Structure 1
Amino acid sequence: MTDEPVGGVRVCRVFLVDDHAVFRSGVRAELAGQTGIEVVGEAGSVAEAVAGIGRVRPDVVLLDVHMPDGGGVAVLRSVLGADPSGAPATSGTADAAATSDASGTSDAPVSTFLALSVSDAAEDVIAVIRGGARGYVTKTISGGELADAVRRVADGDAVFSPRLAGFVLDAFARAAPGLQERGEPVHDPEVDSLTPREKEVLRLLARGYTYKEIAEKLFISVKTVETHASNVLRKTQQSNRHALTRWAQSRHLD
């Protein structure tokens, strides 16, 4: 959440993404009466969403799953992830991440995504969580419950409507035994989104190397190291180098 208090309450800046204008208006009205929530923008298509998120840099994006031009996964891929060829996505949010200083700290944190959909299908839930969303709630949720879910994902929690979390747990539980038996790592969407070079930079950052030392070790420029580090911060949704180091250590990537 933003650190700017309003009446002693931190304000969470929210961006709405849904192709139905009437629904967006309803959500905006519901959240307008909730303490500590401010709707700062909205979009009705993937292109509008990517541009708006990059421009506004909200704390939380409420994201529809199904839209005519690609839906929630397309927004997540454009803002947080890589395209199928492995090239990093470009957006306003990515540009903000590229302003990281030499310590690896970005001046604009990456937005957190919360899916808000009429669908409660397992494949939809799993797809957006793998894409980088922090939670998934259905459109039957009340205004107060939605505001609470927004605050919780902004604070780092994972939030799901009843029974939806089970889809995610079941999906990863089914995948894990076969991978472990073959001695392979369990699927991790955030790790998988990193390119081989980004993983190299991540490991060296986690080991305490400076940008200059990493550049010398990998025979690349310091500017290129900064770009890779910014991409890693964006894709892993970490706010600074210290948090990124802990994240890497928890996945044995250091």
Structure 2
Amino acid sequence: MPDELRVVVVDDHSIFRSGLRADLDGVSIVDEADDVASAVARIERHQPDVVLLDVHLPGGDDPSVPGGEEVLRRAVPLAPETRFLALSVSDAAEDVVRVIRAGARGYITKGTSGAEVSHAVHRVAEGDAVFSPRLAGFVLDAFGAVAGETAEATDELDRLSVREQEVMRLIARGYAYKEVASELFISPKTVETHMSAVLRKLQLSSRHELTVWATERRLL
């Protein structure tokens, strides 16, 4: 059996943290935190696989910056292998855009079921970008709005073969390698090969950067 994912839960409501402990499957909650400072310290100490992070968290240095965003800006450099999944009651455009740009791999709302949160944690750990279904379309629109006018992408796309473009779009939408393989009737190993070529040709370093690149060019 594979090892359980190691998770740190960051939320200032103890009842909500207790609920997550009861509902999450296939994970080990190694610690909890309820403000910015304790979150950063515990993330650095444990180097978890995933952090479930409340967006509006107390204890930040700047009242104009959501506490979750501050945690991301301070903790991401300290735990480079850790993935961050925002979990919030808010579905405001500003909140979503700010935490994703700060380094979160996904954003789900607190109305999400325990089973769905567990699934999202595992997908984020695998490198996918995950959003609540009702936020997915909005997220793409929001990133497009932030980026301004659609960038000219013809020259960049010309670097990719037709198959690489197909793989690029699916990966940027958050598909796992196995899902892309099933969709395109190729092997996961072939998907991995195409993905490496896409990142090299576009001079990107991660799936997260690819998602941002494709979103800003409205290629999804």
Task: Give the TM-score category using the shorter length.
Answer: 0.5 to 0.7
Q: Please state how far the C-alpha of 1:128 moved relative to its aligned partner.
A: 0.7
Q: Answer yes or no: is 1:128 the counterpart of 2:128.
A: no
Partner residue, 1:234: none
Unaligned segments of structure 2, at least 5 residues: 61-66, 157-195, 206-220
Aligned with 1:66 (options 44, 49, 56): 56
Give identity over the alignment, percent. Answer: 59
* Cα pair 2:55 2:68 within 8 Å, conserved: yes
Structure 1 CA distance, aligned partners of 2:114 and 2:151? 42
1:66 to 1:10, Cα distance in 2 relative to 1, 3 A: same
* Cα pair 1:12 1:38 within 8 Å, conserved: yes
Partner residue, 1:15: 8
* Cα pair 1:153 1:159 within 8 Å, conserved: yes
Q: Aligned to 1:110, what secondary structure does the other structure show?
A: coil
Question: Residue 249 of structure 1 aligns to which amino acid in structure 2?
Answer: R
Q: Please state how far the C-alpha of 1:166 moved relative to its aligned partner.
A: 2.0
Larger-Rg structure: 1
Partner residue, 1:191: none
Partner residue, 2:47: 57
Structure 2 CA distance, aligned partners of 1:247 and 1:61? 28
* Cα pair 1:14 1:39 within 8 Å, conserved: yes
Larger RCO (CA within 8 A; separation ≥ 6): 1
Question: Residue 140 of structure 2 aligns to which amino acid in structure 1?
Answer: L
Unaligned segments of structure 1, at least 5 residues: 1-7, 82-90, 94-108, 186-244
* Cα pair 1:126 1:167 within 8 Å, conserved: no
Q: Aligned to 2:90, what secondary structure does the other structure show?
A: coil
Q: Please state how far the C-alpha of 1:172 moved relative to its aligned partner.
A: 2.7
Question: Residue 78 of structure 1 aligns to which amino acid in structure 2?
Answer: R
Q: Please state how far the C-alpha of 1:72 moved relative to its aligned partner.
A: 0.7
TM-score of the pair, normalised by structure 1: 0.56
Aligned with 2:71 (options 72, 75, 99): 75
1:163 to 1:55, Cα distance in 2 relative to 1, 3 A: same
Q: Please state how far the C-alpha of 1:12 moved relative to its aligned partner.
A: 0.8
Partner residue, 1:38: 28
Root-mean-square deviation (CA, aligned residues, Å) is 2.4
Q: Deviations over 1:26-49 (max 9, x none)?
A: 111212xx2x21111110011000
Structure 1 CA distance, aligned partners of 2:105 and 2:204? 22
Q: Please state how far the C-alpha of 1:251 moved relative to its aligned partner.
A: 3.7
1:15 to 1:129, Cα distance in 2 relative to 1, 3 A: same
Partner residue, 1:158: 129
Q: Please state how far the C-alpha of 1:156 moved relative to its aligned partner.
A: 1.0
